[in-house]
Amino acid sequence: MSARRRYWLMKSEPDAFSIDDLQRVGTEPWTGVRNYQARNFMRNGMRTGDGVLFYHSNCTPPGIVGIATVACEAYPDPTQFDRASHYFDPKATQEEPRWFNVDVTFERKLSRIIPLDEIRAHADELGEEFALVKRGSRLSVLPVSAAQWNLLLSLE
């Protein structure tokens, strides 16, 4: 019995890591997530092969710029153990890691950016609970339903 493919949206600041960077490297460990809700989505929800909408945040304009796939199940984020890392967490131990990450593989760039304001214009169809268009939501990893996935990509 095979599990159904799930869909996600992952935010990245293009100054730090853009869709072009992902295209260049092919596969990237999605380290540095330090929010429990986002961690739980990666650790408990993501399966190899899941679809990812790659979103550029903190830029002009913010929006969905590409598609990636989840390359493996979550494993302990190595940056939490690295004293030299910005993401070092003194409370994390090898026995009890706090933070997890998946690897993400480039699939394709969209033919154009789907900007946030255009996504917002479809808030009714996307639903109140869609974290991307929820006021004040800062979640950097969030689930996307099949219907939302199809609607968003139909805007391309």
Partner DNA sequence: GCCAACGTTGGC
Alpha-carbon distance of 131 to 18, in angstroms, equals 21
Alpha carbon 118 to its chain's center: 19
Residue number with CB closer to DNA (2 or 44): 44
Compute the least distance from the CB of residue 64 to DNA, in Å. Answer: 11
Q: Is 79 in the site for DNA (CB under 7 A)?
A: no
Binding status of residue 88 toward DNA by CB under 7 A: no
Range in contact with DNA (rule: CB under 7 A) among 23-31, 44-52, 64-72, 134-142:
134-142
Of 116, 151, 153, 155, the residue at the interface with DNA (CB under 7 A) is 116
Instruction: For residue 61, say if its preceding peptide bond is cis, omega within 30 degrees of 0.
Output: yes
Does residue 84 come out as left (phi exceeding 0), alpha (psi in the -120 to 50 range) or beta?
Answer: alpha
| Side-chain half-sphere CA neighbours of 100 within 13 A | 18
CB 106 within 8 A of CB 23: yes
Does 155 bind DNA (CB under 7 A)? Our answer is no
Q: Does 90 bind DNA (CB under 7 A)?
A: no
Q: Shortest gap between Cβ of 115 and DNA (angstroms)?
A: 8
Question: By the criterion CB under 7 A, which residues form the site for DNA?
Answer: 11, 13, 34-37, 57-60, 62, 91, 116-117, 134-140
